[in-house]
Amino acid sequence: MFLSRIDRHNFLLLLCFSQLLFLLILYRRGAAGVFQGLFGGSDPPWDYSKTQDVYTNLSLFVPDPENVNTQYCPAKSPILVGPLSVSFQTTPSLKKVQQKNRHVKPGGYFSPRHCFGRYRTAIIIPHRNRESHLRTLLYYLHPFLQRQQLHYAVFVVHQAGNSTFNRAKLLNIGVREALKLDDWDCLVLHDVDLVPENDYNMYICDEEYPKHLASAMDKFDYSLPYWKYFGGVSALTPDQYMRINGLPNNYWGWGGEDDDIAMRIRLVGMSITRNPLSLGRYKMISHSRDSGNEENSRRYDQLGNTRRTWREDGMNSLDFKLISRTRAPLYTNITADIGDPPLVTEAPARWKLF
């Protein structure tokens, strides 16, 4: 009996250790990577030491005026190569990006010229004072999307004035304006300083759940920083976006809005689907913290109230003044006055939710 008690004690310790180990693996790798490793999957073992130029083979798409109106593009593009060469040593000029992307129409619109694009994707980029980053992203993003045979457009949402930056509110504005112009299948929310490294990372939505595309950034050693992370680049259908009431409008400065979005997704009964770490790789353009985008000291208080506020703070409360919407050669530029952050009269709490 004494030995059986010892065995039971050891068994419980082993069980607790196993559970802790599994949670640690989930934290570092994400469920997608863990379960794919356990049960297999279609994601091949990518070799990122062997990369291809993002403009490789684009000339193989020969225009076909008949097919473009009668035949859908294949679900899988025939010219995808996998890992791509990404370098930030020099910043391309807009003229160079235009020359490399002659078939992109004003406003950043593109449709395949040899078949009918079966997916319609709007890329929405919040922006202020990041012109060099924007040029670099456009240099890589346009051919990346063309390789995937998407019908797409790029929307850059510029915050006017010098008030504190509000990324989430700018994304709400971009979604509202983009939906006025086309019937999009997918909305990709894209930070201006992140460049994808694999063209099999399809910029299309999961029909059931919001999708986190940037699951493995070099900034985080190509691992997921924490299990609930939903930042960087993500994809939602318009219906999913409206179900969560869009993004919060009251996160001024850096931090918090991504966790608020993840919480909204859970509160409406959805889950987050995520790219495997070997596929969702992105390189971040290094930079210092922007002036006017200081850390949001109220974010933990705000996250603590999300369950109570998400239904009233979002697309249904979006307030801004549209200054201009113009079609630049490589993107649609949306400039908006989003007002100023409210005055904070109380000191923020010190506790942390995540």
pLDDT of 178 above 90: yes
Q: Considering Cα of 149, then 150, then 152, then 158, what sign does the dihedral take?
A: negative
Catalytic member of 185, 197, 199, 258: 258
pLDDT of 291 above 90: no
Residue 336 phi/psi, 5-degree rounding, is -135, 145
Catalytic residue list contains 284:
yes
pLDDT attached to residue 39? 33
Catalytic member of 289, 290, 307, 337: 289
> pLDDT (tens digit, 9 = 90+) per residue, 125-145?
999 888 999 999 999 999 999
Catalytic member of 185, 197, 257, 259: 257
Catalytic residue list contains 46:
no
pLDDT attached to residue 251? 85
pLDDT of 42 above 70: no
Q: What is the mean pLDDT of the chain?
A: 86
Catalytic residue list contains 43:
no
> Span 195-214, mean pLDDT?
97
b (16+ CB within 10 A) / e for 7-19: eeeeeeeeeeeee
Measured CA to CA, the distance from residue 196 to residue 346 in angstroms comes to 41
Catalytic member of 43, 120, 254, 266: 254
- Please give the C-alpha separations between residue 337 and each of 18, 163, 242, 252, 340, in angstroms, as whole numbers: 52, 10, 23, 14, 9
Catalytic residue list contains 151:
no
Which of helix, strand or coil describes residue 129?
Answer: coil
pLDDT attached to residue 29? 44
> Span 335-351, mean pLDDT?
72
Catalytic residue list contains 47:
no
Catalytic residue list contains 242:
no
Catalytic member of 8, 9, 103, 287: 287
Nearest to 110 by CA among 156, 81, 62, 149: 149
Catalytic residue list contains 212:
no
Catalytic residue list contains 206:
no
Catalytic member of 64, 284, 294, 315: 284
- pTM of the predicted model as reported, rounded to 2 decimal places: 0.84
The DSSP line for 304-328 is HTHHHHTTTSSGGG---EEEEEEE-
Catalytic member of 177, 185, 191, 301: 191
Catalytic member of 185, 193, 301, 313: 193
pLDDT of 28 above 50: no
